Every structure is written in structure tokens, then in C-alpha cells.
Structure 1
Amino acid sequence: DSPKPKIIEHPKSHLAIKSRSANLVCSATSNPFSNMTFLWRKNNGNISNPSVYENVTLTENGKPHATSVLVIPDVAHSDSGKYQCVVSNKFGTTYSSKAKVNIVTFPRFIKTPTNITVKTGETVTLNCAATGDPPPEISWKKDGGNDFPAARERRMNVMPTDPRFFIVNAKTTDMGVYSCAAKNPAGTVIANATLTVLQEPSFIRVMENKEVTSGESVVLQCMISGSPKPVLKWMKDGSPIITTERHFFTAHDQVLVIIGAESSDAGHYECEITNELGTKKDMIELKVLPPVAIMVKEEDMTGIIIITVVCCAV
């Protein structure tokens, strides 16, 4: 082997982030090992007063090698260029390959989306814009994923060069957390905004009058929708319904179950739903009919009596 320095680790090209520090590493050895000096160059010119630290360590096979680390503190655009280390000992000089350092700027928001509340049918506008070098790409997510109900229904409009994100004819399915990400080679920044869609309380289906025979069970339904979720209140003949062993609610109070209906259960049942956009009511009538009487012919009754007497005699 030549006694001249042999570079075993060349400085590597990389991206340096503006206002942060960056390092370039150069390692060399020689046989026989002798003291080496390192000189750093940029764009073919020597760097005056570089910030470096150097040490000597052993390789895996036990051979010594020297390392010089060039530190670029507080990186600026003026630090971009081609860097090279020059290693010398008393036997000669060796030049490393050149490493290209490009300066990038971390993305920074200049417009961020804010929480927004709209009513169903209205248009939603979220703003998001960022600066950086190179200019960052903007992307959107809903609740951490890429499933946008408005996109499937062609109600969403996003343009790469437009900081505005549109949803027309807003629906409750559009509610959620919308995340705007600005990304370039330096990194990614994310801003979140919550979309709330208000919807008037409404009945999914019209309540229907019921008619049952005494002793039968009956189910009364009041299926509703609205945003925020409406508060539901049941009334019977103008008074609140009190739950008992025979009267209970299920399905988030949207279903009233009456076990073994009695004549006292007959009446008008009202379902009232309320949220911040208003109140709506629906009402039905429940009729409880008396048990059906079973008609028995006189000759059949005589037979029953005779059979009963015979059985008792036996």
C-alpha cells in the first residue's frame, strides 16, 4: 500500500436545513500510519477558519484511522456548494470526492385552517398555505385517512395552487377533523381543524298508530336524526312516561317497549326532539282492545261438563 493518505470515508452529498447545523465527515488512514492534516475546501477554494473537530480511532480490524468533521452551524443559503476534504501526510496528499450540499427551508404555514361550523347545505371553506424552499406540497386528510364522503359524491374541490379547500352542500357525514400537511424535503408540518355540520332535528320515518289486544306486547318507534344529536322526550297524554318493569326504552330512547299491554296503556304518545336548531314533535295513538271472547256452542259445553264429571268420578 502507498504510504500516502487513503480516504476510507468520503464526505456525502446531502440536504441541509436552513438555520440548523450540518456536518460533513471525512476519514482517512495510511500504511504505515502517520500524522495527517485535513484541509476543507468549498467550490474549489479553501475554507478559512472552518469549524472542525478531529480524532483518531481504530477500525474493526484494529487499524488506526483519522477523522475530520466539518461543522456548518446555523446553515444559510450561502453555505450551499460543493465541499471537498484534502488529506496530507509527509508522504503526499489525497483529495476526497466532492459532496454537494443543497440548502432547504423547513415548511412554514402562512395560512392555517380554523375550526368551522356550518348548517347542512352550506359551503365549507378551509384555508391552508405554506412557504418553504423548495415550495412545499399541500395535502389533506380527514380523520387521519383519505376517505372523503364529499369527494365520493363530487362535492369537494381542492386545487394544488389554490390555498382554499371547498365542500359544497355540506352533510353530517362531512363532519370530522381535517388535517392540512405541508411537505418538502426538509420535513412536514401539519395543521388541524374541526368541521361541525348542524342539522335540524327530524324524524327518519313517520310514527304509526298502533292497535293491540290486551296482554300483547307492543313496540313504539321514534327514529330520529339531527346534529348535534337531538334530545328526545316521550310523553303520554301530555305527561312524561315513567319506566316500569313493563315500560322501558331501548335504542337510545328511540324505541318504547310495553310488555303485556293493559287498557291503562291506551292513549296518545308524543315524541319530542330538540337541538339548537329547533324542536319537532310527532304523535300516535295506541289502542288496547279487550281480550277476544271464545264462543262455545251449547252442545260442546254439555260434552265438556260430562267429561269433567266422568273424570271427577274416576
Structure 2
Amino acid sequence: MDLVMFFLEPARFVKRLTDMAIPLSQKLRLQCTFTGAPKMFFTWYKDGKQLYASYRYNTRIIDNTCVLECLHESNNETPGKYSCEVSNSFGTDICHANITTVTEPARFEQKLKDKKVAMSKKLKLECTFTGAPKIFVTWYKDGKQIYASYRYNTQIVGNTCILECLHECTKDTPGIYSCEVSNSYGIDICQAEVTTVSGPARFVKKLTNQSVLWGQKLRLECSFTGIEKLFVTWYKDDKQVYASYRCNTKVIGNTCILEYLRECDEDTPGKYSCEVTNEDGSDICHALVTLATGWLTNLVS
């Protein structure tokens, strides 16, 4: 009996179209779900006129779901009353949705960020935006408009604004860079401070030789400069030193620190080295650490 009822089931919607407000920058997509005995027929309408698959629309069936996709971004012709009709030999059902468009002002989704760049590198800035077309993009440096030229390349890839300097950084590179996006509904601007740094990692205060007493705890320090991202490695007698129960390694600001967590003993003396590296270069400095004999003299006395 159930099988007979299935084959006699009229076409009907179990999930209908719903009214929707869509930004002008998006593509409209409508879907509704149906049930009913085969053979099913489907028809889409807009404002009472039948829609056909074309360069503007794509219609398809995915399992029990009717889908209408607009192949272009919404515009002033998109709003209207959309309808989907399903039918079989035992009945017909139809559902509707009122579609409106909303104005979407231009705005940034990912803004520019302050940046440090090596003198040996080329500056590249990126930010992403959203908003209803037509979007206009303008770049500035220190308040003055930047144009595509032998110095700069400006482009838009998808929703990403890109500014590329075509030459390595110079003393003229630092400054406040701004990007402005605008459309008929609004405007947004973001900015970043760009500074230049000497590129390769190098030490500005190197390790110095030390003579430590028995019972003291060894502490070594050196300071560096260079563009991020920097990596610091310590060595003793050319073998890498790792943070452990014996020693601690850390970086505070631009200072590398090696601290022994236990008092000095016969294993402490040796050649200690600190190496800093980044993508532009590396530097290394050394110190000889010896044990002083002052405690022995005092003991004999």
C-alpha cells in the first residue's frame, strides 16, 4: 500500500524559496527541495516570465533540490519575484521568493599593516576589500597620490589591491602609505607606516671573553640588528647548545642571552658562540670562557 501511495504522490515542495536581500557584489543563488512521484518537471520564473538556462542563468537539479544560479554579479535588474514550479502526473506545486538588492559600500576586509623592509628588498603592500561594483582604488604616499610608473606597479587581483615597488628600497622608501577604495555607496581608507632596516642580521654588541669563579653562574649576552624574521643559535665548542636543565636561552628585545642554571664547574670553560640569521644574511660572535683560580688561592691561604 505504501509503495502504491509513493507512486501516486503529487509533486510538492518540502523546503520552499525564501525572501532574500543580496549585496550587489554577490551572485544570486536560489534553491528549494521537493518530493513526489516521478516523472518530475521543473520550471523557473522571474516576475511571471519563464527563465531558461543561458549566459545569465544556470538551472539544475541536485538530488531533490532545484537550483537557480545567476552567472553574473547582481545589478539593478536582479530584484524581482522568483518562482519555482514542480509538477508530475498527480499534481503541481509552486513557491516564490522576493529578491531585493542592497547597496554595499566599499570597505576593507584586510587592512594594510605597518611593515619593516630590508634595504636590499622591494616593497610590496597588499589589502583586500569588498563592496558593490564599480570599485575605484587609489594609492598614496605621505598624502600624495601614487601612479603606476617606472617606480611603482599598482594592480587589483580579485578583491586584493597590490602596490609593488619595482626597485630595491632607498632612503626615499619610508613613509605613510595609504590605500583608498570607493564606489557609489561609500569610501574607506587604510594606511601603514613603512620603515627600512639594514637587511642582514649582524651583531652590534658582541660576546666578550669571561673568566668566572667556581660557584658562580655563567651569563652571556650580545645584541643584534637586522630585519625580521631572525633565528638565534648558541654553540659551545662548535656544538649546538639547547635550552635544558643546565642552561636557558632567550631573546629579550634585540639581546640574545645564555644563562647557566647551575654553578660553574669543570665542564663550564670553552668557546661559546652565538649566531643570528635571517633571509638576508648571518653573523656570528665568540667568547672564551675560563675558570678563575681565585678560590683556590683563598683556600690555601
Q: Shorter-chain-normalised TM-score: which range? A: 0.3 to 0.5
Indicate the structure (1 or 2) with the bigger Cα radius of gyration: 1
* TM-score, normalization by structure 2: 0.41
**Structure with greater proportional helix content:** 1
